[in-house]
Amino acid sequence: MESVVFFMNLITLIRWQLAEYLRLPGIVYRGLRITFAPARSYECKVQYGPQARQYVYYIAPYPNTPARREIIFFAHGGGWKSYNAMIFRFVGRFFAARGYHALLAGYRPSPRFIHPAQLDDMYACLITGEQILESRGVDYSRIVLGGQSAGAQLTALMAYDQDDACRRGLDLSRIVGLFLLSGPLDFAECTTRRIGRLVRDYANTPTLYQEANPSFHVKGTERYPVLCIHGKHDPLVPLSNSVSFVSRLNGKGQLRVIDNGHHADLAAVFIDKDDPATPILTEWLDRIAAEHPTP
């Protein structure tokens, strides 16, 4: 009986993965067109370490857009090992087109570098990004952290490992929100073979595994609102990750499930204004702004 259940689950995952593969080419094409289009506002790449991926990429708000007080700090996905921040310029430009200053975080890849190297880099990115903003006279007292997949795990760790954040000097009162797409947010729920292998490459001892698990650090007393968006048919990171994580947040978390969503294709939220997740994210950001109006 167990073998029957196993094979049925495997067939379901394969179906979901094939459906995602069919959808991805169009999303990738549109995303790369935005990424490699000429910049419409000031952009810069600032290295903070010697490794190729140790940089932060800044994108200023587009001209003639309503000014937003919140700074968007975004970490990309890729299983902690693939891609780089510059490929995700379409994400930063999505926010810049809506009046936000955007910081895209680059970090060292696993398995060559393991936890906490990536988290070290996230803090270095934030510090470097704040220096860029300060040099331009931008107020960075209100930060929205966000990420997709592995990037969701990293930004969640920044927000919820509060002891570590305090040791590193992050003023948690500046975090006004956290949005997480397709995140491996509870390692106990990372039950597919592929995500299990990726997690082990990133946090390869029991101690590191626990330290890197965002759900382990949630106390339930944290004040900032959280938006989790997850595909119902995610073949890599089971939906139960976001379900479990949000259940720990004592009413501060909101989970929105995209019925026909998978994993990587949730990037369409930053590309396609008609994507069902796009208004979910933009309206959530509007509510954050309304709760903290400009003086």
Q: How many helices (H) and strands (E) does the chain have?
A: 10, 8
How many Cβ atoms are within 10 Å of 220's Cβ, its own excluded? Answer: 10
Handedness of CA 292, 177, 230, 278 (dihedral sign): positive
* pLDDT at residue 6 in the model: 56
> Looking at residue 14, which CATH number applies to its domain?
3.40.50.1820
- Could you give the CA distance from residue 293 to residue 50 in angstroms, rounded to a whole number? 40
Give mean pLDDT, residues 187-191: 97
pLDDT top residue among 18 and 179: 179
The pLDDT value recorded for residue 10 is 66
Mean per-residue pLDDT over the chain, rounded: 94
Determine the Cα–Cα distance for residues 281 and 270; give it in Å rounded to an integer. Answer: 9
Q: Tell me the three state secondary structure of residue 66.
A: coil
Domain that includes residue 48, residue range: 2-291
- Residue the block writes with tokens 């920044």: 158
What digits encode the pLDDT tens for the residues 107-133? 999 999 999 999 999 999 999 999 999
On the question of pLDDT at 68 being above 90, the answer is: yes
pTM, two decimals, is: 0.94
Is the Cβ–Cβ distance between 70 and 100 less than 8 Å? yes
The pLDDT, as a whole number, for residue 4 is: 54
Confidence of residue 38 (pLDDT cuts 50, 70, 90): very high
pLDDT of residue 23: 84
Q: Could you give the number of structural domains in the chain?
A: 1
Q: Is the peptide bond before 111 cis (omega within 30 degrees of 0)?
A: yes
